[in-house]
Amino acid sequence: MSKALNNINEAKDLMNLSLYTGALLIQNGAESYRAEDTVERICKSVSNVSNVSSYALPSAIFLSIEYED
């Protein structure tokens, strides 16, 4: 049973958490694809988030999600 977000602020908090996790992975030597996969899995763990896309570079991580259409 997955959790559902209640408002847009919770969606922003979820994005910040996943981006922070991805940044920690990159800073500690993980490959870009592993950081991308982790960020996407965190965001997809919520039921009302869809169309998750991420792109990780050594200096930045880009993330987009669709929250309740």
Distance CA(29)–CA(7), nearest Å, equals 34
* pTM attached to this predicted model: 0.89
pLDDT for 64: 95
- DSSP state for residue 47 in the 8-state scheme: T
The ranges assigned to domains in the chain are 8-67
* Residue 5, φ and ψ in degrees, nearest 5: -80, 145
* pLDDT tens digits for range 3-58: 888 889 999 999 999 999 999 999 999 999 999 999 999 999 998 888 999 999 99
- Cβ(32)–Cβ(40) below 8 Å: no
pLDDT for 1: 53
